[in-house]
Amino acid sequence: MQDNEKKNKKQEIYREAAKLFMEKGYNAASMRDLADRVQLKASSLYSHIGSKEEILVKICFDNAHRFTEGMDKVEKMNCNTAEKIESLLKLHIRTAIEETTAVTVFNDEWRHLSEPYLSDFISMRKDYENRFRKIIKLGVEEGDLKNVNAEVMLYSLLNSVHWLHKWYKPEGKIKAEELEKDIIEMLMGGVKIER
């Protein structure tokens, strides 16, 4: 029972830390801030966690794994490249909606990781981007996608969905399904009506 309570407190600390890092940024968020939010003194946090950075490490790598696993599945799909890209975009959009705080920290605060975490994180991200780029290049070769620089296409797509959390509020007017549909339509088909 006590063990269970401790686990709950630990989860609560992680959850509130993610929110705090999102709101203030990792460096500006202090352990005293965090302690206030979970109704503890700062020193008591250390009965549940080892360090401030431990929290950042967990958030960053949990999310990195999520995207890596998503990529594993997409690569195995038996469909054309445009559909693969749509699947990846959906993965980003859904994660941004369902795990807003975690994704925000993952996107904005990873650079405050110290070594060796920082290097590991960067290689995981590079690996993900390489696999995404490969799909784009194949799509261009096969005539599925427009002949635009693969680098430009990769990051234009990723940026559009990567920073969703900066403006989209799941509790707002726009429903998740509409968001997903409209973004995919825009990115895949463009904004302009030809006439």
Residues within the interface to a copy of itself (CB under 8 A): 25, 27-28, 82, 85, 108, 111-112, 143-146, 148-149, 151-153, 155-157, 159-164, 166-168, 173-174, 178-179, 182-183, 185-195
Q: For DNA, which is the closer residue by CB, 18 or 164?
A: 18
Shortest reach from residue 48's CB to a copy of itself, in Å = 25
Any contact of residue 175 with DNA (CB under 7 A)?
no
69/178 with CB nearer a copy of itself:
178
Least Cα distance to 164 among 59, 20, 172 occurs for 172
DSSP-based three-state secondary structure for 77: coil
Residue with tokens 């635009």: 148
Distance CA 184, CA 182 (A): 5
Query: What is the C-alpha radius of gyration for the chain, rounded to an integer number of angstroms?
Result: 19
Residue span 34-63 as binding mask against DNA, x where in contact by CB under 7 A, dash where not: -----xxxxxx-xxx-xxxx----------
Which of 43/149 has CB closer to a copy of itself? 149
* Residue 43 binding result from DNA, a copy of itself, none, given CB thresholds of 5 to 8 Å by partner type: DNA
Q: Which is nearer to a copy of itself, 82 or 124 (CB)?
A: 82
Contacts of 122 (CB under 8 A, 6+ apart): none
Distance CA(104)–CA(107), nearest Å, equals: 5
Phi first, then psi, for residue 112 (nearest 5°) are -85, 0
Total Cβ atoms within 10 A of residue 71: 21
Binding stretches for DNA (CB under 7 A) = 2-3, 5-6, 9, 29-33, 39-44, 46-48, 50-53
